[in-house]
Chains A and B, each alone.
Chain A
Amino acid sequence: MTAAFMDTPASSYLEVEDLQVHFSTEDGVVKSVDGLSFHVDRGQTLGIVGESGSGKSVTSMAVMGLHTASNASITGSIKLDGQELVGASRETIRLLRGKKMSMIFQDPLSSMHPLYTVGNQIVEAYRIHNDVSKKAARSHAIDMLDRVGIPEPAKRIDAYPHQFSGGMRQRAMIAMSLSCDPDLLIADEPTTALDVTVQAQILDLIRDLQKEFNSAVVIITHDLGVVAELADDIMVMYAGRAAEYGSAEKLFNAPEHPYTWGLLGSMPRFDQAPTDRLMPIKGTPPSLIQVPSGCAFNPRCDYQPRVGPACLDQRPDLVDNSSDHFVACHIPPAERQQIWAQEISPRLS
């Protein structure tokens, strides 16, 4: 399988180029996203992985045009189906939201209005973009609830969010965001608040619905397991930038960035015999107000001494290692592959 973004860069459904989202605060400028590029096609799933604060949610909100705060500055380019969104009028983007692109959020309880019924909220979403009667919208809402696997949807439609369990709420959120057949679905940590068995149900649901609607999906998570389940391509983010970007197969079987290695070493592997010790990344993620110069990962990187001063004062670009696999690191590709094969991989299994 080849990664989608290399084959059809010109015709991808969502194309993000050099996206920067900065917030000016009293403490300084927070560079939450600082030069990010990625593509997703219809029928494809892109997984964005990274630790908290790495800029995942800010990226997704930027695509949806939801950064309304006056201190946010967004530059670069976001093209949805060929249409430029950065700099577009609020009304233009509003009309795309819900219809062409939609989003589901991490915490389904706080993300639904506590004072309106689930049905009311789905009907509202549907009627924004479809000029239909309340009655027709209601029966559509019942259909959607049925589609996402809520039992007895005709009865449950008048329930309030607090009367649903966590899994049902997330299903209802999905029903709401899919009610207008959007072509792009962004799921920001859709299962983080859920239990494993319910998480598995929701991941299955997202996969099935994607097949049915042939939509482009961006799934954002900090759990490498979740992206391994769903994603075709994976982008690993660190401090507002992409550290590594490539097909899921490449990322899991031949990762080349020291940060990705660190993530893999930190996770207890469920599919292998238990190891003696985990291999954590030392230190903590940087503040996005004062990102380390050069490679942002350098204070935590075990390989920085091998490369030398370049890591400290030269920011590594995200470059193709010539096999459709993009890595932002000063270690030469051949050496990276060697380190993975000889030093890292054996320790992980």
Chain B
Amino acid sequence: MISYIIRRLFAAVLLLLVVSMITFAIFYLVPRIAGAGPETLAARYVGRTASADTVHRMAQNLGFYDPIYVQYWNWLKDIFTGADYNLGTSIEHCARPCLGYSFIDNTPVWPDLVDRAPVTFSLAIGAAFLWVIFGVSIGVLSALRRGSVFDRAAMTVALAGVSLPIFFTGLIALAFVSYKLGIGAAGGSYTPFTQNPAEWAYDLLLPWITLAFLFSAQYARLTRAGMLETMGEDYIRTARAKGLKERRVVVKHGLRGALTPIITIFGLDIGLLLGGAILTEKTFSLNGLGKYVIDAIDKQDLPKILGATLLATFFIVLANLVVDLLYAVVDPRVRTR
């Protein structure tokens, strides 16, 4: 078991390293291959209006004349040690963890990310809570009443849920729940949980519902399929043959068996969302990590995009690790061999 954990940890670190290389390559190597010289690259950092001299100094400063592996190494090192950027007029310090420095806004990226993260986290965790409860229970009920009116209705809605784009469902939710019923904030506002939990929930209600609707649909389908499979297993027959009550057969034996794949998907979904729910944040004008990326893309602020991307991949790798460890908890066949 311990060797399993260590092995997983090791694999996660390795994965992070590989992912950081790929991310780095996308931002630094690909433009190079596409023909952009160090100065063109540097120009993107300091803005189009800068003088040729500034650009040249910047390219030197950022190490764009170095071989690519040296650049990668410096970039990686900066994350752990911090870095100083000589802008000619001043020297700006980017404290560790230095995920980059925006030359457009003249701010390091990391504090921005730390600022935005609570919004995204609140959004993801609240929505996850809703979709697990609704998705899984609808899935279980559908599986148990396979072919019934409930099942068919639920699955039709679910199919719509997975195929409709989020800004569409979001707009409907906005129109219906907020404007018609007057519940929930129309978006754009966010109150930290620590400040006022009720306000926090009220502000996030609509984005939660929108996001949870999409995921509930997917989880209902997944749970239904999983339940249909496990309920056909021989061990379910055994559980019934013992004289167990049907509800216990379903929950203790059936659902438990169907849970493993759901946990896997759940981990990955959460990991993905923690890095920023781009569409939902945009639809509801929430200042989370996703919105941060979108704004950065608008302004072509490369360091911001790179920093946010790296953080997002970190969450995905972390979620992967947690899923792997949970697996061992949930399934004794992984734990004891």
Contact = CB atoms under 8 A, between A and B. Distances in A.
The answer to whether any beta carbons of A and B sit under 8 Å apart in the complex is yes
Interface of A: 61, 64, 66, 68, 90, 94-99, 102-103, 105, 107, 110-117, 124-125, 128-129, 160, 162-163, 173, 176-177
Interface in B239-285: 239-246, 253, 256-257
A115 B332 contact: yes
Given A160-B332, A160-B333, A114 B235 contact: yes
Secondary structure of the B contact surface, majority rule = helix
B234 A114 contact: no
Contacts of A128: 242-244
15 contacts: A66-B240, A94-B243, A94-B244, A97-B242, A97-B243, A102-B242, A105-B234, A105-B238, A111-B237, A111-B238, A112-B235, A114-B333, A117-B332, A124-B242, A177-B242
B336 interface: yes
A113 B231 CA distance: 12
Given A66-B237, A163-B336, A115 B331 contact: yes
Given A113-B238, A128-B242, A176-B242, 19 more contacts: A66-B237, A94-B240, A98-B242, A102-B242, A110-B235, A112-B238, A113-B239, A113-B253, A114-B332, A114-B333, A115-B256, A115-B330, A115-B332, A125-B242, A128-B243, A128-B244, A129-B243, A160-B332, A160-B333
B240 A97 contact: yes
Contacts of B240: 66, 68, 94, 97
B233 interface: yes
Contacts of B241: 64, 66, 97-98, 102-103, 177
B237 A105 contact: yes
Contacts, number: 75
Contacts of A113: 235, 238-239, 253, 256-257
B117 to A, nearest CB: 35
Interface residues of B, number: 21
Contact of A124 (B233, B244, B257): B244
A64 B253 CA distance: 19
Secondary structure of the A contact surface, majority rule = mixed
Given A111-B238, A115-B331, A99 B243 contact: yes
Contacts of A173: 238
Contacts of A96: 243
Contacts of A68: 240
Most buried by A among B241, B245, B330: B241
B243 to A, nearest CB: 4
A100 B238 CA distance: 15
Contacts of B243: 94-99, 125, 128-129
Contact of B234 (A97, A110, A124): A110
Most buried by B among A90, A95, A105: A105
Nearest to A103: B241
Nearest to A163: B336
